[in-house]
Structure 1
Amino acid sequence: KIGEKKALAIFSKYDSLEKIYENIDDLKNIEGIGPSLIKNLTNEKDIAFMSRELAKIFTDLDINVEESGLQYGMDREKLYSLCKTLEFKMFIKKLNLEEKTQSSNSNSNPKPILLSLFDKIEEVEKTEKAFEEIKYEKELNINFSNRELLIINNETLLNEQKEYLNNYKKIASIYYEELGIILSTEEKDLYFPLNHRGLLSRNIDKYILINFISELNIKFISYNFKALLNLGFTFKSMYMDMMIAYHLISSQTKMDVLLPITEYSKLEAKDFKTTFGKVNIETLLIEDFSKYLSNIGLGILACYDEINHLLHKEELYDILIQNEMPLIPVLSLMERKGIKIDISYFKNYSLELEKELAKIEKAIYEEAGEEFNINSPKQLGDILFVKMNLPSGKKTKTGYSTDVMVLEDLESYGYNIARLLLDYRKLNKLKTTYVDTLPNLVDSNSRIHTSFNQIGTATGRLSSSEPNLQNIPVKTDDGIKIREGFVAGEGKVLMSIDYSQVELRVLTSMSKDENLIEAYREEKDLHDLTARRIFNLSDSDAVSREQRTIAKIINFSIIYGKTAFGLAKELKIPVKDASEYIKKYFEQYPRVTTFEKEVIEFGEEHGYVKTLFGRKRYINGIDSKNKTIKAQAERMAVNTVIQGTAAEVLKKVMLKVYEVLKDKDDIALLLQVHDELIFEVEENSIEKYSKILADIMKNTVKLEDVNLNINISIGKNWAEAK
């Protein structure tokens, strides 16, 4: 229970354990050493000395073997392949395998590798044999050394490559960054400059290139196909999006093309910043950028075989091909369409918020007895905990913490200034994040274009960014007011269709809990029913609004794996009461407990969990000895199975919607916000599409034992349609 800094502080004064314990009472004179640390040392003296004994390296053992006798030869190529397959990344780095295997193509004898004393040759040979058994057929035979890089900046040069590309029938990669596009085949790289702005730069006409690419019968792979679709490109074959494929096998949510290239190829591609530093993009030469981009294009091609193999091995290939790849053009269309906002409405609302914030500011200054910078944590900390002498929470290196948890604690003690500060922060965030920002993001038609990210969450849910339209508060008055600013075009309305309790219905179907199944079969109010069971109410007793709210929070808390402590904090009740609520919930819905245990046991055994449709998420820490880490991993596992399944239901529905509506001019899908889809529909087509879409959402996916119910709302703005 002593960190490195405090240990060093102690050892700088006393150079042995014996001396430390001889002077145990004097440790308090060392800066940073408090009573609790001294108490730990005293109570765990035996462990301290045992730890020292265990850490000793004995050098007097009777070993009659020379170091040279412990070495034996190893084929570096085979070792590299084996380590890649078994994902022994640290061995590859420690033994410099990548560097050596890339540079050594000779048939000379490999240099012996010194392995651990505990390795046995028989075990290594057995592992190599196992590796040989799982070899797979590669689709590509890439030329890495004598590649041709051509810059195609006019139609003549483009036509010169026409015959080659028309006759090329294998996989090619195509990748876009701001300045241009790289197309890599097995033999060569073609760079198409699009947005270079230097004096000597010459770009190819984008529309000529779009038409050219659209006619090619090539199986294209890419990293983020959607970026190319948003430019207007179309493909006869979008064979694999490496971004999504890598996400499926790794649960990685960071968008970075170098991640799969570094992990699954021998290439050393570098990002833009590492390659060019702080170069002015206006002066960047086409020749330099083309070399940089060709390394990435080749890297995407080079990691295809291994990622394709892993997708099949992990039974994730069908998820990619049937769910994720077809969703790319759906999301691209939604992003390009955008949703209209009323700019004047947001400007007026901003003025309202300014007045409200000014009132709250004044009230805060009155409580504090002076004016100060409310947005400065240091000044605010001094006001609250030095001048006003309020009970302080945690202290940071720069002063007192004034985060939300600290202010909420102060508010619970009845301090009015804390309530005012929370209100101020909420309104200020609303104003800066949405009200003032959104009008600056519109196009010439006053439409906002968000980006939908397929790899943004580990559960498989779509996320939204630039701007994030999924984080607008749903229940609060302020959130509703923001939604009023999102409007339909002339002669159109917004239609919102959302699932009723989709995640709870997924839980019901997957857990097979009879009480939950009965509740949904008889179309009972599940929150009302849970309230009755938790609060022991009879059928004739009325459920109060507060009781129903508590039951609703508990119903959803089970999905998100909320602890008694977390539930107590949200409901502002004692932890003991929250524990009792959770206990009663599981007593009423016993199969839910069993289901959650089964999910956790599966995760412990396999290291991942699966949704109903087979999507996997790898769960770090599910076998941890640390109780806190393990509990968090268990909550993550259960949440992934339920939320991930619900997310896939929405994706399947979106694919069906796209299939039915893609050629229609009187309706468009604009947004997806978790379990809600927002359409823009011509007023005279409302009735027709209400029926069509209701049928799609209810019947595209059929869950066992429970129906999927929906709510349809229509209005001139998003608030009315919610």
Structure 2
Amino acid sequence: MEKIMIIDGNSLMNRAFFALPPLTNKDGVPTNAIHGFLSMIYKMIETYEPEYMSVAFDLKGPTFRHVAYDQYKGTRKGMPEELRVQVPILKEILDALNIHRMELEGFEADDLIGTISKRCGERGLKVFIVTGDKDALQLVDDQIEVLFTKKGISLIEKYDAAAIFEEYHLTPLQLIDYKGLSGDASDNIPGIPGVGPKTAIKLLETFKSVEAVIENLEEIDNKRLRGLVETHANQALMSKSLARIETGVPVEFELSEFAVEEPKLEEARALFSLYELKSLMGRLKSEVTIAESEMPVTAEEAITWIVDEKGLNALLKTVRASKQLAVYSLIEKIHVRDIRLAGVGVALKDRACFIPESADLSLASEFLKAIGPETEIEKWSYDLKREYLLSYQLGYKLENGCFDIAIARYLIDPSRSSEKLSAMAFERLNMNLAEEEAVFGKGAKAVSVFEADQQSAAMYAQNCARAIFDLTIQMKGEIESENMAQLFNEVEMPLVEVLANMEFEGFNVDLKELDDMDVILTEKLGTLETEIYELAGGTFNIQSPKQLGEILFDKLGLPAQKKTKTGYSTSHDVLEKLEKHHPIIALIMEYRIYSKLKSTYIDGLRQVVNPVTGKIHSSLNQTVAVTGRLSSTEPNLQNIPVRLPLGRRLRKVFIPSPEHTLLDADYSQIELRILAHFAKDERLIHAFRNKLDIHTQTAAQVFDLDPKDVTSLERSRAKEVNFGIVYGMSDYGLSENLGISRKEARLYIDQYFAKYPSVKKYLDDTIEECRTHGYVTTILNRKRYVPDIHSKNFNLRSFAERTAMNTPIQGSAADIIKIAMVKVYQDLKKGGHKSKLILQVHDELLIDCVPEELEAVERLLKGDMESAVSLEVPIEVDMKSGSNWYETK
């Protein structure tokens, strides 16, 4: 018997969208619903082998049901924008795959499905309807079955007439009457108020249909129910009409239109490539079926346990022969110096297993200690830094940790910062990998790896290792093809060990200095409070935007800028515009700064001091900032507000280890030097090569002055222009920064470009290249995609152009400091120095230095930083030592 499969397009897309983690391509286009939908289609083709197929979609606009009842589906929320944009893309892909699709104004997809399925059934075809909406169950008959997607799109439940009767005690056609009586909240079908599912089924078991229930009112024993039916009889009939799927839609078709055909390969491949449907690319063969080797990877169904020394030794022998493996350690991280191992998931080319760890049998740690130091074995992981931290805890050397798929993914597309392993596995391998929260819980319901179900935890770790191995194989080639092998292998991967070591070492703190600052800040906040209350004419909660808004705009009568849902906006930009209107505004802004300083850095730092080491172990993250810069968390040491005297003083809290010295090295004007290198501007190159003051030189050029006649004001304005150019600043931004008119700011920028035409040409060329390729690159070929470079929205496009100008410069600065970190770390290690690299902040490195090593380490640090790369201009480093961070600045 020939088979036709009819798919409810909107329903299945909706299911896929909410079931799968967010996915986007390099241009930022959402793709998770497309991935899930196509995966399901391929699964259906393989399982049921239909000769014919069609996908039905709803169209925007009213249907005949809306005409009959204007509140039909009135309670439904609109489609999320991230899903809406995927609909036309999926339709284009279906056309390229030669999969028939249908839609018709005035009718829902259900009606087209109903009409085609009934007519095909009458022609003797076996019909399968794939949907996530049980409305379709009414269509079931001897020829038609419904394949209902549940648990997102991962499971299919088949419904024939017997299955429907078992669940509802009704026939398929009675399901229409069922909705007529009980209604349907999702479609806003009213039914009879007070009649729920159980009552509706009971009535239909007795009377068979809505019409019969109404005709036999007197036979309903329950007086209240009888009254409800009598009162709402017409509403019940209307509800039944709304619930009925139309099977007589006026459409003409030939069965051959639905035939499953070979795809238009070139079109399909281009679309799969554009939207990065990598896990599905192997499906694009001329045959409908595919070879087993091209089947999507699925999660392991059984755990292979390593439970004794014999099994462990056999595994070690296999690993040493294969020379590459993926590991996923199941750990509980109490803090950086207290990491507890519960087991290790391991994957090789043709097998995966789980090694448990227990108080009685430490097989997992034995395994890690055995393979860790072996340099000839490649170790692959996801978040390899945690494996390094674990190695410090267990006391073994981790050598040749050469591939971290999180970092590879980040380099391939930095807009997907900190992407989950489950999202990568689904997109690239078509593997439904369990989310971490599904295994270990979330929030208040979260449990440790030791409290979770042992089977689930072991399965999770084993499957993670399997995914890591297969993803590494795939991504290795991609890193090569993207010309980022040097960046990945010589910078980013060695840097993982550097960052792990820095995090493990930590930064010593002076708790007494922290307490002294707390007293000063508390007094300062108290003084500001008093002054604010005096100007406000009473006390209020300064931290409450609502109360502050009432004081400023209702009581003091200041001009309101904008409103939010909860009242007046009192955001920083609003307050800045009001500063000249009343003296209270400056005090409030000052209060907020000191309040944040106290809560974030005084109270906050106390909370993160490690109980074992007495240090702060800030985490430096590689896969967050799209520019390639490192980010600092727990706590963030890169955002200390140093423009304030008390903010700068906060650096006194950070001290070296006892009897040690703190050594600080900072790149001098690295971004301007990179600009000179890229633009090859003779004047900039001359200034840097001759160690001239670059801001004085710029002022002299822009204002047509002799350098010795440049005033401090002119130099400071030139400095703003210099850095404004680097960051693609507009005349508006420069005027805001300098407090001058936009016309004057525009004049400064125009004069700058007139004197530095090579810079203007470089920036224009960079934007043009970005328009051509869709991305910009750094000195080490780090890529950043800029999807809005072609936007029709002026503001979005302007921001994208500024991003294109700045990223090669800022990203190259990130490349250079990372190269320097790797060199410094490795040279300290090779030289047997006890001094340790402990922090990186923007263009600055800090070393906890043993006093007797100070001279040698200064030479090493300066040499490694200044030789990180070769530029057209010399790279210079400013260096200073002291007894705390404050003294080194």
Under a length normalisation based on structure 1, what TM-score does the superposition of the two structures give?
A: 0.80
Asked whether 1:211 is paired with 2:387, we answer: no
Indicate the residue corresponding to 1:699 in structure 2.
867
Match of 1:372 among 540, 543, 546: 540
Shift of 1:227: 0.8
> Partners of 1:230 and 1:210 in 2: how far apart?
13
Supply the AA of the counterpart residue of 2:417.
T
> Partners of 2:269 and 2:555 in 1: how far apart?
73
Shift of 1:685: 2.1
Shift of 1:188: 3.6
> Partners of 2:656 and 2:866 in 1: how far apart?
25
Cα displacement string for residues 493-533 of structure 1 (whole angstroms, at most 9, x for unaligned residues):
11111111000000001001111112112211111122233
Match of 1:571 among 721, 738, 743: 738
The sequence identity of aligned pairs, in percent, is 33
* 1:280-299 equivalences in 2 (<5 Å): 280-281=446-447, 283-299=451-467
Contact 1:567/1:578, CA 8 A, preserved across alignment: yes
Q: CA 1:542–1:557 in structure 2 vs 1: closer, same or farther (change >3 Å)?
A: closer
Q: CA 1:400–1:99 in structure 2 vs 1: closer, same or farther (change >3 Å)?
A: same
Indicate the residue corresponding to 1:96 in structure 2.
37
Shift of 1:84: 12
Shift of 1:303: 2.6
Contact 2:325/2:346, CA 8 A, preserved across alignment: no
Indicate the residue corresponding to 1:308 in structure 2.
476
Q: CA 1:102–1:125 in structure 2 vs 1: closer, same or farther (change >3 Å)?
A: closer
SS at match of 1:281: coil
Supply the AA of the counterpart residue of 1:393.
Q
Contact 1:149/1:188, CA 8 A, preserved across alignment: no
Match of 1:386 among 531, 554, 561: 554
Indicate the residue corresponding to 2:385 in structure 1.
226
Indicate the residue corresponding to 1:191 in structure 2.
354
* 1:613-632 equivalences in 2 (<5 Å): 613-632=780-799
* 1:448-459 equivalences in 2 (<5 Å): 448-459=616-627
SS at match of 2:483: coil
Supply the AA of the counterpart residue of 1:97.
L
Shift of 1:262: 2.3
Indicate the residue corresponding to 2:13 in structure 1.
none
Contact 1:560/1:635, CA 8 A, preserved across alignment: yes
- Tell me which moved more, 368-377 or 572-581: 572-581
Shift of 1:218: 3.9
> Partners of 2:26 and 2:874 in 1: how far apart?
43
Contact 1:154/1:204, CA 8 A, preserved across alignment: no
Indicate the residue corresponding to 1:562 in structure 2.
729
> Partners of 2:422 and 2:323 in 1: how far apart?
26
* 1:301-700 equivalences in 2 (<5 Å): 301-411=469-579, 413-443=580-610, 444-544=612-712, 546-663=713-830, 664-700=832-868
Shift of 1:127: 4.5
Q: Which has the higher contact order (CA 8 A, sep 6+)?
A: 1
SS at match of 2:344: strand
Indicate the residue corresponding to 1:50 in structure 2.
none
Cα displacement string for residues 590-630 of structure 1 (whole angstroms, at most 9, x for unaligned residues):
11110011111111001111112211111120111211111
SS at match of 1:253: coil
SS at match of 2:626: coil
> Partners of 1:129 and 1:542 in 2: how far apart?
61
> Partners of 1:608 and 1:525 in 2: how far apart?
33
RMSD (CA atoms): 3.4
> Partners of 1:110 and 1:265 in 2: how far apart?
27
Supply the AA of the counterpart residue of 1:208.
E
Shift of 1:167: 3.7
- Tell me which moved more, 352-361 or 511-520: 511-520
Supply the AA of the counterpart residue of 1:281.
V
SS at match of 1:468: coil
Indicate the residue corresponding to 2:264 in structure 1.
124
Match of 1:256 among 405, 409, 420: 420
Q: CA 1:191–1:126 in structure 2 vs 1: closer, same or farther (change >3 Å)?
A: closer
Cα displacement string for residues 64-117 of structure 1 (whole angstroms, at most 9, x for unaligned residues):
xxxx9xx9xxxxxxxxxxx99999975973783213445765795665466769
> Partners of 1:262 and 1:387 in 2: how far apart?
56
Contact 2:297/2:429, CA 8 A, preserved across alignment: no
* 1:101-116 equivalences in 2 (<5 Å): 101-102=42-43, 108=49, 111-112=52-53
Q: CA 1:533–1:389 in structure 2 vs 1: closer, same or farther (change >3 Å)?
A: same
Contact 1:327/1:651, CA 8 A, preserved across alignment: yes
Q: CA 1:127–1:495 in structure 2 vs 1: closer, same or farther (change >3 Å)?
A: same
Shift of 1:369: 0.4
Supply the AA of the counterpart residue of 2:535.
E
Q: CA 1:239–1:689 in structure 2 vs 1: closer, same or farther (change >3 Å)?
A: closer
SS at match of 1:622: helix
Supply the AA of the counterpart residue of 1:604.
R
Q: CA 1:193–1:392 in structure 2 vs 1: closer, same or farther (change >3 Å)?
A: farther
SS at match of 2:665: strand
Supply the AA of the counterpart residue of 1:659.
Q
- Tell me which moved more, 216-225 or 159-168: 159-168
SS at match of 1:268: coil
Q: CA 1:256–1:606 in structure 2 vs 1: closer, same or farther (change >3 Å)?
A: same
Supply the AA of the counterpart residue of 1:267.
M
Shift of 1:181: 3.2
Asked whether 1:161 is paired with 2:315, we answer: yes
Indicate the residue corresponding to 2:172 in structure 1.
none
Supply the AA of the counterpart residue of 1:263.
E
Supply the AA of the counterpart residue of 2:348.
T
Bigger-Rg structure (1/2) = 2
Contact 2:816/2:869, CA 8 A, preserved across alignment: yes
Indicate the residue corresponding to 1:174 in structure 2.
328
Contact 2:344/2:364, CA 8 A, preserved across alignment: no
Contact 1:184/1:190, CA 8 A, preserved across alignment: yes
Contact 1:189/1:294, CA 8 A, preserved across alignment: yes
> Partners of 2:268 and 2:379 in 1: how far apart?
33
Shift of 1:418: 0.6
Contact 1:152/1:204, CA 8 A, preserved across alignment: no
Contact 1:503/1:643, CA 8 A, preserved across alignment: yes
Gaps of 5+ in 2: 8-22, 56-90, 99-261, 283-291, 333-341
> Partners of 1:554 and 1:576 in 2: how far apart?
14
Q: CA 1:511–1:155 in structure 2 vs 1: closer, same or farther (change >3 Å)?
A: same
The alignment covers a number of residue pairs equal to 633
Gaps of 5+ in 1: 1-67, 72-82
> Partners of 1:213 and 1:316 in 2: how far apart?
28
> Partners of 1:572 and 1:362 in 2: how far apart?
30
Indicate the residue corresponding to 2:167 in structure 1.
none
Match of 1:150 among 286, 304, 308: 304
Shift of 1:681: 1.2
Q: CA 1:367–1:242 in structure 2 vs 1: closer, same or farther (change >3 Å)?
A: same
